[in-house]
A and B are shown apart, each in its own frame.
Chain A
Amino acid sequence: MAIDDSKLTDREKELANEFTATKDQLRKVDKQVAMVMDLNKCVGCQLCSMACKTLWTSLEGREYMWWNKVNTQPGKGSPKDWERMGGGYKVLFGGKVRDPVRGKLPTKKEFGDMWKYNWDGVVNSKAGDVHLQPKNDDGTEPDWGMNWDEDQGGGEYPNAFYFYLPRICNHCAYPACVDACPRNALYKREEDGAVVVDQERCKGYRFCLEACPYKVIYFNFIKKVSMKCIFCYPRLEQGVPNACARQCTGRVRWVGMRDEPNSLIYKLVKVWKVALPLHPEYGTEPNVFYVPPLSPPRLDENGKLDPSKARIPMKYLRYLFGPEVENALDTMNKEMEKVRKGGKSELMEILIAREWKKMFEPFTTDPATLDRKPSSIK
């Protein structure tokens, strides 16, 4: 909805200018740490989710949150149908204007409630009388959760298709949440570009939940503040990679400096161009990138393989990763074929990641070598 500048008072114009300047300041970073996730290595195990869970979201009011989660695509994900909830920007005039898209506020049940189980009944009743069942906070039977539609996917047998999509906050260059906060409680850390919610400024208005097109911000119903993935900044500060990345046993995630030409992230995103942002049309310029999924060929009506046709429809991949996805997959296929024929490929060497530690350079510190007694942090 366009605004007629001429109808604004001078005070309103002044405030608007100040607003813009402040948000620019809040977005400003010295360095941007970025992450690449290779979807061809992801097994959907939720180790990343658990790594995050035990570290950040087991405390009061956070128990139901999943700052990191993995969902099956195609699917409704978490919160349920998040891709249809709006938020983000419509980017106009080659990026000169970002027109915010109104978003919906996801409910706790759409994220998945903190279910409770009837243990007493199971243990203390006659065998067979009471069986273990989950209940939502309000006593109702759950009908959604963080990974409810796992492994259901799409297509038709024998051409069914699905793959896993791990998600954290994208720590965007233009975070809609930062713009949306009337309290200016959200900002990007200058040191690493992590988007965080200042827990002391936040008053729990939840405009950020609406504005975020990826719907990765949660509301702490006990503390009455918004909370989200903090990109493990306390770890990055110590040279330790993010828990979700360091603990990923599928060796899916690379962490590094986005704009440092020698970093593997730079090579994957800028040189080989095989790592793409999710839903680039949301206009927030994510700093998490994905190597899009290859897939086995389709079968014709006689059950014969057609090696020329991947089973995930290109239309769906374009929807997720934008038009660049075709080139990215072409590059992947070409480089894989080259290696199969005995050739060498820098891209394949990066993706194999023979020496695991190098996936995170310069964040290669082993956390167990740190002395972090509770008293050591003021």
Chain B
Amino acid sequence: MKEIKLTRRKFLKVSGASVALLSLNSFGFFGGNSIANATQKLINEWDYSGWEDLHRKEWTWDKITWGTHLVDCYPGNCLWRVYTKDGVVFREEQAAKYPVVDPTGPDFNPRGCQKGASYSIMMYNPDRLKYPMKRVGERGSGKWKRVSWDEILEDIAEGIVDGLVEQGPESIIAEFGPGNGGYLHIIAPHRLAMKLGATHLDLDSTIGDFNRGIYETMGKFMFMDSVDGWFFGKLLLIWHMNPVYTRIPSYHFISEARYNGAEIVSIAPDYNPSSMHADEWIPVEMGGDAALGLSVCQILIEKGWIDVPFIKEQTDLPLLVRTDNQRFLRASDMIQKGRDDQLYYWDSAKQAPCLTPLETLTLPCDPALEGTYKVTLLDGKTVEVQTVFHQLKTSVNKDYTPEKASKLCKTNPETIRRLAEKCHRAMGHIQVMVGWNSPKYYHGDLIERAMCLILALTGSFGKKGSGIRGWNESLFEGALFQTFKEAIGTAASMKELPRQMKMIKKFKREDPTITDEIASIRMERWRDANELNMTVPAFLYYFHSDYKKAWDTKEWHCPTMKRPFEEYFNEAIAEGGGWEGFVKPAKDQIPSVYMWMGTNPARKNRGWTKNILPSLWKKYKTIFGFETRWTTTLLHGDYILPCAGFYEKLDTRFPTPHVPWLTLTEQAVKPVGEAKMEWEICCMLAEKIEKAAKKRGKTKFVQRDGKEIDVSDMGKWQKMGANNIDEIMEDALETSALLGNLPVGTNLKKMRQEGIVRFTGVSTFDPISMNLATDIKPEEPIIPLTWHTGTKKLPYPSYNRRIQFYIDHPWFIEADEQLPVHKQNPKIGGDYPLRMTSGHQRWSVHSIWVTSEQLLRTHQGRPFMFMNPEDAKKRGIEDGDYVKVYNDFDNFKIHVKLTPSAKPENPVEPGQVIIYHAWEPFMFKDWKSYDAAIPGMVKWLDFAAGYGHLNYFRWNWCIQPVDRAMAVQVEKA
């Protein structure tokens, strides 16, 4: 408390009058009557603490609940405390109660970001949906009417039954994303779509987050360490990732690793925000990363800086390849009834071929890593064989010495050597921090294969702080399990579990050499085709939309695609092409209904305005979405189902091993207006569908494969015998404990006490959790792949069951991509001098927060594009100018921000323009977003299938449209 009581005596003691007078003068107090003001109250008494309660009162609340944000942020799962006052959520603050897991590293506190910290604002943003709305004018006319839940759901149900009757179940298209749903609430529409026999579009394929190259190499990509593992790496290569924007709550593990002695290297064409805290930034040509990576490998091999025991045991580098046909030497080549997928080493002691075991990585001999040998085949023919390593070494020595690679990746050769030396120093402890930027490059698979090669050569897998990362959504399998169960409760689980176990056993009987992980993948693939009706959208797009036009444009593909795209497509869908059971809807089955949840397709699907809106969108007779706010997709749709926000319902964020706790959100307040929880909406809709079908006297429908769809008990089925969401949650928690994901005894009461619970283990029920291939330990970060690299020696789920660098699928050989190589970016969009790159933005998670008025005020509040000042000057463009961006596909308009961080063009290299993604199209003039420059090309090799791991299953090996490094030109608008 400050009180000023100046007495006359004290006052005379004070010195320094001239200083004070200087102040008074400089502040302008002299020369007017302000001197009087300044001194008027000086000798009065004043209690300065009197007013301070003002702010104390502002920091009060009625209630605190747990909260997290149910979005497709990776890894998310930040635990918050939600503060409510007068029935309104007024703020949230991180709970910051993560326990210390590994005391040798930093803890997880206080996980969160600015989006999470302002959801309390976003939930009341002007675009929040409060009531069911129905289109009353033409589609896209902006004429909306508020209707009752009964009316909207009855309309939708009629539309669905129309679709079932007229075109069959597969004509109903369901697109569900992980954004804005949660987990229980997103399982609900999955269950609804499954019961309808609807075509369920794979979410990874539509998002583009499938790391093709990691998958091609490892036979899986859904593994990663928990983010606290990052702290323990010795060399972190931030490569096709921008963690400063996209891993905000996890970034401290990187900055703190640096203080712990790790080196941080950022590799990117632009000096991006994640370069600023790196020890070194290595510029690379856009899409030139494979050349850079392979050059590092060339040096590692040449210098002998490689982990030979690791390579021999864990990779396919010692396997033999026939030089006559570029194919592996197979057991079927050598012995009667030999398997096609069993391959050979060269036994360096016996100087003879030696079969690779299928069921283990334990070496049967000391395999030669190098050399050319002769073998005699079953038919008596003698052929020459070489090890994969031999071919790889020849290839990198021929094409990727630092000087040669430098011409491709534009990185200085000395800098490449420096990087290789760093890799050598950090041997075994390198982590490639890759995001989902690389898979969005046309040749992103080649880039990732090169990254994996660096890691494999240095033995950087299966150790704390090492490896690479993909995407993993698993470990709360009790919720996923609800997709299949008839009802909640142990009895239903005990009925369903044996059915799943039987399937696993069946696959293991058919091939006793397979691991549980491989069996689990096979089971999933069967379920996807036959129960979940999941597939990639490529078939829907090719048969029913204008994507076909783009994909058939030869000039936008890589010139190394030897035949027309159509030929590969037709070969893929023909019998034996590997896509049997997944080509849906059929070519002659006109899509009738479109529903989505947790995604924003008009924003997300590449080139949506041109590829989908004029064609496929018009075919749909009924379009409806589950949403919390007005989106571009909704504004083009028919029916709007307003959903509860993240603090208005009980749920968990989708689980991930990156942040190895299940995270709870609960109802702090009732949903705004008439909004409802998705689970509740789905229950109501299922009843309406059942009723509408019964009214027409037709409740059974047949899929093209002959499977019968019955909606006569749909209402009951959807509800699962639960009275409320609490019971659904209780069941999901109980089943997860049963499956081993969560500690025994985990229940809702405990969750409500603690807010989080740490995962305990994986299970065969879900191949995605099996992909981690590790035991989750209580006092250590999750370290994936230890079942392969450790004492268990379990094989990988790749074709040759090793870390696979040689792919002898005929198309790969035809494309000369059997080994990792570098290929130039194709000129997608035409022959233009700039390349448009992208990345996830800082200010929103996809488009969920992109319209938050407070977050908009933390940038320019409108879409913008970064551009180098030199490139701008040439075009007469200044900072803040409005420009037109165009190519042969389409054009759009946007404001420019100049930055020397973007790569400028020069006579031989393209320049770079950068647009961080997820602006709503309605934020652009004519609602034409940057997607107008993205035709959504797919690499033809994505269609290769029927080869070991090159086969679709949920979220994996899913053909995906690419969007990075589009060729564009820019001019002043």
| A residues with CB within 8 A of B | 1-3, 5, 8, 12-13, 15-26, 28, 40-41, 43-47, 49-51, 53-56, 58-59, 97-102, 112, 114-115, 117, 119, 122-129, 131-134, 142-143, 145-164, 179-180, 182-184, 187-190, 196, 198-201, 207, 210-211, 230, 233-235, 237, 243, 246-251, 293-297, 299, 302-305, 307, 336, 339-342, 348, 351-357, 366-368, 372-374, 376-378
Contact residue among B46, B105, B252, B278 (Cβ-Cβ distance under 8 Å from A296)? B278
Task: Assess the A3–B261 pair: CB atoms within 8 A.
Answer: no
Whether B753 sits at the interface, judged by CB under 8 Å, is: no
Whether B273 sits at the interface, judged by CB under 8 Å, is: yes
Residue of A nearest to B275 (CB): A296
Task: Assess the B14–A99 pair: CB atoms within 8 A.
Answer: no
Task: Assess the B93–A51 pair: CB atoms within 8 A.
Answer: yes
A307 CA to B415 CA, complexed, in Å:
11
Task: Assess the B926–A131 pair: CB atoms within 8 A.
Answer: yes
Whether B908 sits at the interface, judged by CB under 8 Å, is: no
A98 CA to B48 CA, complexed, in Å:
25
Task: Assess the A56–B103 pair: CB atoms within 8 A.
Answer: no
Task: Assess the A296–B281 pair: CB atoms within 8 A.
Answer: yes
Task: Assess the A21–B14 pair: CB atoms within 8 A.
Answer: yes
A235 CA to B59 CA, complexed, in Å:
8
Chain B residues, CB < 8 A from A196? 52
Chain B residues, CB < 8 A from A155? 900
Task: Assess the B19–A98 pair: CB atoms within 8 A.
Answer: yes
User: Would you give the 0/1 interface string for B112-149, flagging 1 where the beta carbon is closer than 8 Å to chain A?
Assistant: 11100110110000110000000000001111100000
Task: Assess the A249–B248 pair: CB atoms within 8 A.
Answer: yes
Task: Assess the A45–B842 pair: CB atoms within 8 A.
Answer: yes
Residue of B nearest to A378 (CB): B53
One of B5-13, B352-360, B555-563, B658-666 contacting the partner: B5-13
Task: Assess the A353–B256 pair: CB atoms within 8 A.
Answer: yes
Interface size on B, residues (CB 8 A): 146
Whether B853 sits at the interface, judged by CB under 8 Å, is: yes
Task: Assess the A295–B2 pair: CB atoms within 8 A.
Answer: no
Most buried by B among A28, A59, A251: A251
Chain B residues, CB < 8 A from A159? 900
B residues 903-927 in Cβ contact with A at 8 Å: 903-904, 920, 922-927
Known contacts: A13-B17, A160-B901, A189-B2. The answer to whether A351 contacts B58 by CB under 8 A is no
Residue of A nearest to B97 (CB): A366
Task: Assess the A43–B903 pair: CB atoms within 8 A.
Answer: no
The 9 closest A-B pairs by CB, nearest first: A127-B140, A54-B91, A20-B20, A21-B14, A100-B26, A303-B412, A160-B900, A50-B117, A182-B38
B473 to chain A, nearest CB (A): 22
A99 CA to B17 CA, complexed, in Å:
13
Task: Assess the A97–B103 pair: CB atoms within 8 A.
Answer: no
Whether B277 sits at the interface, judged by CB under 8 Å, is: yes
Known contacts: A99-B26, A340-B261. The answer to whether A305 contacts B60 by CB under 8 A is no
A243 CA to B20 CA, complexed, in Å:
36
A175 CA to B114 CA, complexed, in Å:
30
Chain A residues, CB < 8 A from B50? 198, 200
Chain B residues, CB < 8 A from A47? 112-114, 117, 248
Task: Assess the A299–B283 pair: CB atoms within 8 A.
Answer: yes
A19 to chain B, nearest CB (A): 5
Contact residue among B37, B107, B260, B879 (Cβ-Cβ distance under 8 Å from A182)? B37
B residues 236-289 in Cβ contact with A at 8 Å: 244-245, 248-249, 251-252, 255-256, 258-261, 263, 266, 271, 273, 275-283
A115 CA to B277 CA, complexed, in Å:
33
B332 to chain A, nearest CB (A): 50
Task: Assess the A198–B51 pair: CB atoms within 8 A.
Answer: yes
Whether B35 sits at the interface, judged by CB under 8 Å, is: yes
Task: Assess the B61–A249 pair: CB atoms within 8 A.
Answer: no
Task: Assess the B22–A43 pair: CB atoms within 8 A.
Answer: no
Task: Assess the B93–A247 pair: CB atoms within 8 A.
Answer: yes
Chain A residues, CB < 8 A from B271? 157-158, 160-161
Most buried by B among A198, A207, A235: A198
Chain A residues, CB < 8 A from B273? 43-44, 151
A50 CA to B798 CA, complexed, in Å:
46
Task: Assess the A46–B858 pair: CB atoms within 8 A.
Answer: yes
Task: Assess the A377–B112 pair: CB atoms within 8 A.
Answer: no
Contact residue among B48, B64, B140 (Cβ-Cβ distance under 8 Å from A187)? B48
Task: Assess the B91–A132 pair: CB atoms within 8 A.
Answer: no
Chain B residues, CB < 8 A from A131? 922-927
Q: A15-B39, A367-B81 are in contact. List 4 more A-B contacts (CB 8 A).
A: A15-B38, A15-B42, A45-B114, A196-B52
Chain B residues, CB < 8 A from A20? 14-17, 19-20
Residue of A nearest to B138 (CB): A126
One of B431-439, B762-770, B861-869 contacting the partner: B861-869
Task: Assess the A1–B81 pair: CB atoms within 8 A.
Answer: no
User: Would you give the 0/1 interface string for B24-44, flagging 1 where the beta carbon is closer than 8 Å to chain A?
Assistant: 111111000011011101110
B282 to chain A, nearest CB (A): 8
Task: Assess the B857–A115 pair: CB atoms within 8 A.
Answer: yes
Task: Assess the A134–B42 pair: CB atoms within 8 A.
Answer: no
Whether B468 sits at the interface, judged by CB under 8 Å, is: no
Known contacts: A54-B92, A146-B858. The answer to whether A44 contacts B927 by CB under 8 A is no
Chain B residues, CB < 8 A from A200? 50-51
A357 CA to B95 CA, complexed, in Å:
12
